């Protein structure tokens, strides 16, 4: 029965198989097509991958306000053709006036303030992050990279079906209509097929183009943002904005089957999670029953369960808390976690604790990959947190603010938006960065770029990225098949194995028989992340946009 299920799955895969986009020289994979076009044009006109990433990030802030942003933050991972790597952290920070219990009511219950409204925002990092990346590694003039975004905002672009339906969905209407400026700028202006013009955002982008990030953090934009915060009960001040710096650090590294994995260090939990889970899988033989088999899903789910238990305890901003990265990735520790996996039965999460070391999900973040003609690779994941962030558009500035404060443990031990339980290490402190799941990742084989990927999807990001890597590394799929294959998700608590449509009812029955509580994903968040991928194989770049979204892969 197990073999039959695996065969049925593989058959359906091959019947449905789509080809990835192929290109010889350069590739962009972006979750919104107009922004993808911007990136490709920058590459074709002599820009490098960093230039294209900067241009795409600003373009997405115009064409994909769901997650593209200048009011949020994220991570940029780069591997240059000469082998150098860098990780630019432009994660939002808690304002200086933030306090540990700021999202608890008088009875100690968690309020909605970390998710909606003026008090939900961390200090945005995107503009500083892009400027840092450009100053250190860019080739084209800054203004030239801002121009496409400025043009899209000033002249407008047709509202696509996916933008219109996301904006006018019940949840987003409810969120945005609470804030008059968001209602005016987005709900009353962006209708399917119409041209969507954003004059306020165009003016903001023009100032950033002409004066650089200092406009956003110290100049007119900063003054207006701080004034709006003050009159609406928000916490971000001019001092917060002035103090914000993006940080450059070494990426995290590990290996799987000899390939080098270059990925996100803390304050992301993603890279550590990815390496720990790959470590538990390597040599386990989990893949022998085939892609999509109940036995392989079970084993990977057990691995996920164990990592997410650690995630609940051991992650916080490394400037405030010493994340035990070395211990979490110690081969002996990983082996001991692996030895507790029963290949035939689910371990109830109640029996798994964070190891002894001696969301509802909304898929609102966004990820893009760029490879240029020289072989430089840039992977960016950035976000407003929930779709359309806190719902607040800053009056006169035209951009939405994040609700990243919800990525902190508002009350250690209680669930956040993504039903993640988090500990003291991730409690709110002024100037601190909340723990993220964002996992931009680049893999090299024999010293050359092999695979790059990343995803939105809240707590499901790490597991989405993991499964696409396994589909390539262990099941030898091409980029598109690896991304298209149905996925699953386990995050320890709740003790539930979530499965996408496409995992067969027979397989689900086998998983239940092994003791898993299985919940088919449906409703407003039916997917396990949306993973954008570039695979470098046989002299071709394969670009794959995830069909769970509306992205575009294009190259030359
Ligand atoms: N805001 C989603 C994440 O950083 O994980």
Taking the mean position of all CA atoms in its chain, how far away is CA 199? 28
The pLDDT confidence band at residue 12, using thresholds 50, 70 and 90, is very low
The residue among 355 and 348 whose pLDDT is bigger is: 348
Which residue in the list 365, 383, 393, 507 is annotated as catalytic? 365
SS3 381: strand
pLDDT value of position 357: 73
Judge contact between 381 and 75, C-beta under 8 A: yes
Q: CA-CA distance, 543 to 452, in Å (whole number)?
A: 10
Q: CA-CA distance, 176 to 355, in Å (whole number)?
A: 42
Atom of ligand 1 nearest to the CA of 270: 5
pTM across the whole model: 0.95
Q: CA-CA distance, 245 to 240, in Å (whole number)?
A: 10
Q: How far is the CA of 408 from the centre of ligand 1 (A)?
A: 10
The pLDDT confidence band at residue 41, using thresholds 50, 70 and 90, is very high
The pLDDT confidence band at residue 358, using thresholds 50, 70 and 90, is low
The best mutation among 407, 435, 525 to test binding of ligand 1, ranked by most ligand atoms within 8 Å of the C-beta, falls on: 407
CB-CB neighbours of 154 under 10 Å: 16
* Residue 325 in contact with ligand 1 by CB distance below 6 A: no
The pLDDT confidence band at residue 71, using thresholds 50, 70 and 90, is very high
Q: How far is the CA of 440 from the centre of ligand 1 (A)?
A: 12
In the chain, the N- to C-terminal Cα span, in Å, equals: 45
Mean pLDDT for the stretch of residues 339-346: 98
pLDDT value of position 16: 55
* Residue 166 in contact with ligand 1 by CB distance below 6 A: no
pLDDT value of position 246: 98
Atom of ligand 1 nearest to the CA of 386: 1
Portion of the chain with pLDDT greater than 90, in percent: 92
**Is pLDDT at 14 greater than 70 in this prediction?**
no
Q: CA-CA distance, 476 to 555, in Å (whole number)?
A: 23
* Residue 438 in contact with ligand 1 by CB distance below 6 A: yes
Q: How far is the CA of 68 from the centre of ligand 1 (A)?
A: 13
**Is pLDDT at 193 greater than 80 in this prediction?**
yes
* Residue 381 in contact with ligand 1 by CB distance below 6 A: no
pLDDT value of position 18: 80
Shortest-distance Cα residue to atom 3 of ligand 1: 436
pLDDT value of position 377: 98
pLDDT value of position 73: 98
Alpha helices in 45-141 (DSSP H): 49-63, 126-137
* Residue 383 in contact with ligand 1 by CB distance below 6 A: yes
Stretch among 285-299, 303-317, 413-427 having the lowest mean pLDDT: 413-427
Q: Can you give the residue ranges of every domain in the chain?
A: 2-21+249-362+438-526, 30-72+90-245+365-405
pLDDT value of position 361: 40
Tens-digit pLDDT profile for residues 387-400? 999 999 999 999 99
Atom of ligand 1 nearest to the CA of 434: 4
Stretch among 11-15, 308-312, 533-537, 547-551 having the lowest mean pLDDT: 11-15
The listed CATH number (3.40.50.150, 1.10.246.130, 1.10.3720.10, 3.40.50.300) that belongs to domain 2-21+249-362+438-526: 1.10.246.130
Mean pLDDT for the stretch of residues 398-421: 89
430 contact partners, CB below 8 Å, separation of at least 6: 94, 95, 96, 97, 98, 99
Q: Tell me, yes or no, if 289 is annotated catalytic.
A: no
pLDDT value of position 347: 97
Atom of ligand 1 nearest to the CA of 459: 5
pLDDT value of position 4: 34
Mean pLDDT for the stretch of residues 124-148: 98
* Residue 436 in contact with ligand 1 by CB distance below 6 A: yes
Q: How far is the CA of 318 from the centre of ligand 1 (A)?
A: 16
The best mutation among 404, 439, 459, 465 to test binding of ligand 1, ranked by most ligand atoms within 8 Å of the C-beta, falls on: 404
Tens-digit pLDDT profile for residues 476-530? 999 999 999 999 999 999 999 999 999 999 999 999 999 999 999 988 789 999 9
Shortest-distance Cα residue to atom 4 of ligand 1: 436
Q: CA-CA distance, 450 to 535, in Å (whole number)?
A: 6
Mean pLDDT for the stretch of residues 310-328: 95
Phi, psi of 85 (to 5 degrees): -135, 155
Q: What is the mean pLDDT of the chain?
A: 94
CA angle 112, 125, 440 (to 5 degrees): 90
* Residue 426 in contact with ligand 1 by CB distance below 6 A: no
pLDDT value of position 413: 85
The pLDDT confidence band at residue 34, using thresholds 50, 70 and 90, is very high
CA angle 183, 188, 190 (to 5 degrees): 110
Mean pLDDT for the stretch of residues 335-346: 98
For helices 49-63 and 142-155, give the axis angle rounded to 10 degrees. 20
């Amino acid at each position: 029965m197990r073999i039959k299920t695996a065969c049925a799955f593989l058959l359906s895969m091959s019947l449905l198989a789509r080809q990835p986009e192929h290109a010889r020289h350069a590739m962009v994979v972006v979750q919104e097509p107009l922004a993808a076009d911007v990136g490709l044009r920058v590459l074709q006109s002599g820009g490098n991958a960093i230039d294209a990433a900067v241009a795409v990030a600003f373009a997405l802030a115009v064409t994909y306000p769901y997650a593209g942003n200048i009011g949020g933050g994220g991570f940029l991972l780069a591997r240059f053709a000469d082998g150098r790597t860098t990780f630019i952290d432009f994660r939002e920070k808690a304002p200086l006036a933030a306090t540990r219990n700021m999202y608890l009511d008088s009875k100690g219950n968690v309020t909605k303030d970390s998710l909606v409204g003026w008090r939900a925002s961390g200090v945005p990092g995107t503009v500083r992050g892009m400027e840092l990346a450009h100053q250190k590694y860019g080739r084209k003039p800054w203004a030239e990279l801002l121009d496409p975004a400025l043009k899209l905002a000033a002249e407008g672009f047709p509202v696509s079906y996916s933008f219109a339906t996301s904006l006018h969905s019940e949840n987003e209407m409810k969120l945005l209509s609470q804030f008059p400026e968001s209602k005016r700028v987005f709900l009353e202006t962006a209708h399917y097929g119409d041209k969507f013009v954003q004059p306020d955002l165009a003016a903001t982008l023009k100032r950033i183009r002409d004066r650089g990030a200092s406009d956003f953090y110290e100049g007119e934009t900063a003054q207006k943002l701080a004034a709006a915060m003050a009159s609406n009960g928000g916490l971000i001040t001019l001092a917060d904005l002035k103090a914000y710096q993006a940080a450059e650090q070494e990426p995290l590294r590990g290996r799987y089957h000899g390939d080098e994995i270059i990925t996100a260090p803390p304050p992301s939990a993603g890279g550590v999670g990815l390496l720990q889970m790959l470590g538990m899988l390597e040599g386990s033989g989990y893949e022998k029953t085939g892609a999509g088999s109940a036995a392989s899903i079970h084993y990977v789910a057990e691995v996920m369960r164990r990592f997410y238990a650690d995630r609940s305890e051991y992650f916080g901003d490394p400037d405030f808390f010493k994340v035990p990265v070395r211990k979490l990735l110690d081969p002996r520790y990983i082996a001991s976690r692996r030895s507790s996996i029963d290949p035939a039965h689910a371990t109830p999460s109640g029996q798994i604790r964070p190891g002894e070391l001696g969301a509802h999900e909304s898929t609102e973040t966004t990820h893009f990959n760029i490879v240029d003609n020289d072989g430089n690779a840039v992977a960016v994941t950035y976000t407003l947190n929930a779709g359309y962030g806190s719902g607040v558009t800053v009056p006169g500035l035209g951009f939405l603010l994040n609700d990243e404060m919800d990525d902190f443990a508002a009350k250690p031990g209680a669930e956040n938006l993504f039903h993640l339980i988090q500990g003291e290490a991730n409690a709110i402190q002024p100037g601190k960065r909340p723990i993220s799941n964002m996992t931009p990742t680049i893999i090299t084989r024999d010293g050359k770029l092999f695979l790059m990927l990343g995803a939105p999807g809240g707590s499901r990001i790490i597991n989405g990225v993991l499964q696409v890597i396994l589909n390539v590394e262990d099941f030898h799929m091409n980029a598109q098949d690896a991304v298209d294959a149905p996925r699953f998700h386990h995050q320890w608590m709740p003790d539930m194995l979530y499965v996408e449509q496409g995992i067969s009812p027979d397989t689900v029955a086998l998983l239940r028989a092994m003791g898993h509580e299985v919940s088919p994903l449906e409703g407003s968040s039916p997917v396990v992340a949306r993973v954008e991928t570039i695979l470098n194989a046989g002299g071709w770049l394969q670009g794959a946009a995830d069909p769970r979204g509306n992205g575009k892969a294009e190259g030359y």
